[in-house]
Structure 1
Amino acid sequence: MVFYFKARSDVGDFTIFMGLDKFENEELIKYGFPEDIWFHVDKMSSAHVYVRLHKGQTIDNISNKVNNVDVVYTPWSNLKKTASMDVGQVGFYNSKMVRTVRVEKRINEVVNRLNRTKVERKPDLKAEREAVNAAERAERKQFLRDKKRREEMERLEKERQLELRSYKGLMNSENMTSNKQIASANKSLQELEEDFM
């Protein structure tokens, strides 16, 4: 079971979610998104809470308003899980990416508002992650196809420009006129000079 909450739109319109227990936390760790920011009360047993950012946002887009506990948070991609760790336990790849905020006082108004938005679901986290991966792969393939098409168009245009600037097309026998052809056209020397000028 995963619990979902909605943040107020004035603080970023983020989706907030957490697992029911350490087993759901394990699934959330395994199938998180790069846009997920992980939160946990420091040095205490507590829920793993995630905030899903929108694409292009970073950890700096989250405002810090909390109370009398230290809350650590880091991007999902910084969560480190090894086989020797207990279920639900995590470490970090890069401690410089971990931030801590001190929450001086619980704000019941915020907790109550979040509880009113609470929705319980049993999501297939693996399928959600695979769908996002497939969409990202398709987007990347399309980007590469577009890039290849642009490069091919640029190459053809460059060849065309080189062809226009070359002397290759000037010396075509089809474009040339022999003296015999000029004489047979019965033009006078003066007419030929005028044509030339």
Structure 2
Amino acid sequence: MVCLQISNKNKQTNKNCFLKSCNACFSCTVVSPPYTIYMGKDKYENEDLIKYGWPEDIWFHVDKLSSAHVYLRMPKGTTIEDIPKEVLIDCTQLVKNNSIQGCKMNNINVVYTPWGNLKKTADMDVGQIGFHRQKEVKIVAVEKKINEIINRLEKTQEERYPDLAAEKESRDREERSEKKAQLQEQKKKEKEEMKMKKEMEELRCCMLLKC
């Protein structure tokens, strides 16, 4: 797996691909929250990324041409509509540059969609995907390659060999724990509200008896 940190300082990333801080500098604008782009080096790694993607991931591919599968990891609670323009440009430039045909062409289209919209069936070839809902697939035009962006991204390139299944399970386990805690908090709140309601009712009855 090849990982790319969007950074305006051109510093090497540490051994943890999904860093806690990441800035986009295409327009010299600091982007917050942080973002990470990653992609597989071949169709077999692409297959694993399809299988073990996160709900926060956005998938990019050159339309109608062979290219790398590029993913953008979004912060929790955000959607595809929240991708900053500068980050979107970085992603489209990266996927264009990693297309054998697309990197030599001007005026291509890049498609992108949430990971959850990727459809994989048993009859598909390795690395091949479809979509559950075509209306959730967005298209953006890329006029030409911007060398400054590619050079900046490549300076942050780091190869790693993660256990994708373990990372996905860790992420899902954390989410389950958060939901469990939220449910317990909600039940506690409801119990307190019922207790208060009962106490208010008892107080009202007591006041009526005194009258």
TM superposition score normalised by structure 1: 0.81
Total equivalences in the alignment? 170
SS of the residue corresponding to residue 162 of structure 2 reads coil
- Pairwise CA distance, 1:56: 1.9
Match of 2:165 in 1: 126
| Inter-partner Cα distance in structure 2 for 1:97 and 1:18 | 21
Query: What is the CA–CA distance in structure 2 between the aligned matches of 1:161 and 1:68, rounded to whole Å?
Result: 69
Structure 1 residues 167 and 57 mapped into 2: Cα distance closer, same or farther (>3 Å)?
A: closer
CA deviation map 1:109-136 (0-9, x unaligned) = 1001000000100011111110111011
Report the AA paired with residue 99 of structure 1: K
Which residue does the alignment assign to 2:138?
Answer: 99
The Cα shift of 1:81 comes to: 0.4
1:29 corresponds to which of 27, 42, 50: 50
- What letter is aligned with 1:141? K
Higher mean C-alpha deviation, range 160-169 or range 92-101: 160-169
- The answer to whether residue 109 in structure 2 is matched with residue 70 in structure 1 is yes
Cα distance in 1, alignment partners of residues 66 and 78 from structure 2: 29
- Alignment pair present for 1:4 and 2:43: no
Is the CA contact (8 Å cut-off) linking 1:29 and 1:79 kept in structure 2? yes
Q: Which moved more, 1:143-152 or 1:161-170?
A: 161-170
TM-score when scaled to structure 2?
0.76
Q: Distance in 2 between matches of 1:35 and 1:124?
A: 18
What residue number does 2:192 align with? 153
Greater relative contact order, per chain length (Cα 8 Å cut-off, separation 6+): 2
Q: Percent identity?
A: 54
Task: Letter of the 1:14 partner, please give it.
Answer: Y
In structure 2, give the amino acid aligned to 1:151. E
Amino acid at match of 1:131: S
* Mapped partners of 2:139, 2:199: distance in 1: 60
Distance in 2 separating the partners of 1:167 and 1:28? 65
Q: Is the 8 A contact 1:3 1:19 kept in 2?
A: yes
1:113 — aligned with what?
152
> Aligned-pair distance for 1:59?
1.2
CA deviations on 1:89-111 (whole Å, 9 max, x unpaired) are 00001111111111111001100
> 1:59 — aligned with what?
80
Letter in 1 for 2:46: N
Gaps of 5+ in 1: 172-197
2:190 match: secondary structure: helix
What RMSD over aligned residues (CA atoms) do the two structures have, in Å? 1.7
Match of 1:162 in 2: 201
Alignment of 1:173-184 (within 5 A): none
Structure 2: tracts of 5 or more residues without a match: 8-22, 24-28, 94-105
